[in-house]
Amino acid sequence: MTHFVGKYEVEFKYRLQSKADFLNRLKQLPIEIRLEDNAEYDCYFDLADHELKQQGKSVCIREMQPSGIKLWIVKGPEADRCEAVDINDAERAKSMLQNMGYQLVLELRKTRSIYFIGEFHVTVDNLAGIGDFAELAIMTDNESALARYKAELLELAAELGLTPEMQEHQSYRQLQQALQANAH
């Protein structure tokens, strides 16, 4: 089964009260472990006038260790729009973006574990100073399946003990920027 492929992403994010309790429930399901406790380093880029942010778009270069995965990720402008491609040289990709006039606007570090449950992927993240989160998602090229996937992911969330009250509607980028703004 192919994961992380497609131009659409259905995703629900939840703030975890207890990461250990969530992992215990998750591991009672038939899961495939993709990776555990990888350090992720995300560099977000935008134009000087923040044009991408204003258009509801984001450009990110992600580096993951120890897995060695490097990605170029573009999200938006639609909420379900997300495309990612493997890259070999993250430093060169960042240099190319800066050469085209993009500026580094945010650096985000997190610890991430990724699990597969059938066609869905579940990520468990920790962001220092912000907390623990679970994301339930699928990527697809099939736009007509988005509503069905949303319903199936909400069913999976309920099975994992995740409630609508736990849902986090802000992106990690927004949460990190709010944390930085409050620190100043």
Residue in 44, 115, 149, 172 annotated catalytic: 44
The amino acid that residue 145 corresponds to is A
Q: How far apart are CA 126 and CA 83, in angstroms?
A: 23
Judge whether 172 counts as a catalytic residue.
no
Distant-in-sequence contacts of 91-98, Cβ < 8 A, 24+ apart:
93/61, 94/43, 94/45, 94/61, 97/45, 97/59, 97/61, 98/45
Burial (CB < 10 A; 0-12, 13-18, 19+), residue 16, is buried
Please list the residues that pair with 108 across neighbouring strands: 42
**Residues that are catalytic:** 44
